[in-house]
């Protein structure tokens, strides 16, 4: 008879309090507002985290303020993580491989914030086969594709996202302004704050 066990002391030493990990696929499987998967709104579902204003990408962790959170992408700190006044976060979920969210006992390598740390890693290009994903929501659309350039040697991954609120708002304002002009009323100015575009392209070489 062979009995296999684990080292209880090792498990205790490896425990990380207040830490949550999510994959991009897990976030895609969560309920979505306006048909738009969102990183920050996924974090808002965790214990001890509040959105502040419902529907926006605020992050209030255990009583802390929204500006006391550190977001890192591939090891680089980010200082602006929202689009459209906080309706969307700046992260295209289709391009995310994994995120680690710390709301207590931060590793010393981060520092600089007192509420939470969100460390995000992007998906790695696929060196063997092509695959992709296209998503269309009420307010934006995104696409992701990855595959080999030279099989098992060089690969690429590309993800793009764009809102299309301006596709609706610009013609509507043009119609309103045309009607106002006939009646001698003041025109409504159009400010380009309703649309956004972001993208990620990566090329990797296997050594």
- pLDDT tens digit at each of 207 positions of the chain: 555 655 555 444 445 677 889 998 888 888 776 667 888 888 888 888 888 776 567 788 888 888 888 899 888 888 888 776 667 788 888 888 899 999 887 888 877 678 889 999 988 899 999 989 888 877 778 889 999 999 889 999 999 888 777 777 777 777 777 776 666 666 555 555 556 778 888 889 887
User: Within this chain, do residues 194 and 97 fall inside the same structural domain, yes or no?
Assistant: no
Which range marks the domain in which residue 119 is found?
A: 17-123
* Residue 11 in domain: no
pTM of the model: 0.72
* Residue 5 in domain: no
How far apart are alpha carbons 6 and 43 in whole angstroms? 32
Last-in-domain residue among 123, 154, 175: 123
User: Within this chain, do residues 154 and 77 fall inside the same structural domain, yes or no?
Assistant: no
Buried b / exposed e across 142-159, counting CB within 10 Å, b at 16+?
bbbbbbbeeeeeebbbbb
User: Within this chain, do residues 91 and 143 fall inside the same structural domain, yes or no?
Assistant: no
User: Within this chain, do residues 56 and 119 fall inside the same structural domain, yes or no?
Assistant: yes
* Residue 98 in domain: yes
Locate 123 and state its tokens: 């998906």
């Amino acid at each position: 008879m062979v009995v296999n066990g684990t080292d209880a002391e090792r498990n205790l030493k490896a425990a990380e309090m207040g830490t949550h990990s999510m994959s991009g696929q897990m976030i895609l499987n969560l309920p979505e507002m306006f048909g738009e998967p969102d990183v920050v709104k996924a974090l808002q579902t965790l214990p001890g985290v509040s959105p502040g204003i419902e529907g926006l990408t605020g992050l209030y962790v255990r009583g802390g303020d929204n500006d006391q959170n550190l977001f890192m992408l591939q090891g680089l700190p980010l200082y602006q993580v929202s689009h459209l006044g906080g309706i969307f976060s700046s992260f295209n979920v289709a391009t995310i491989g994994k995120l680690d969210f710390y709301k207590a006992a931060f590793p010393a390598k981060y520092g600089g914030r007192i509420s939470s740390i969100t460390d995000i890693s992007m998906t790695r290009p696929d060196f063997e086969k092509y695959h992709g994903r296209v998503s269309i929501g009420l307010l934006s659309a995104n696409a992701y594709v990855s595959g080999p350039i030279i099989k098992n040697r060089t690969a690429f991954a590309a993800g793009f996202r764009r809102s299309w609120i301006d596709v609706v708002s610009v013609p509507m304002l043009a119609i309103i302004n045309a009607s106002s002009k006939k009646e001698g009323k003041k025109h409504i100015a159009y400010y380009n704050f309703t649309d956004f575009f972001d993208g990620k392209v990566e090329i990797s070489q296997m050594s």
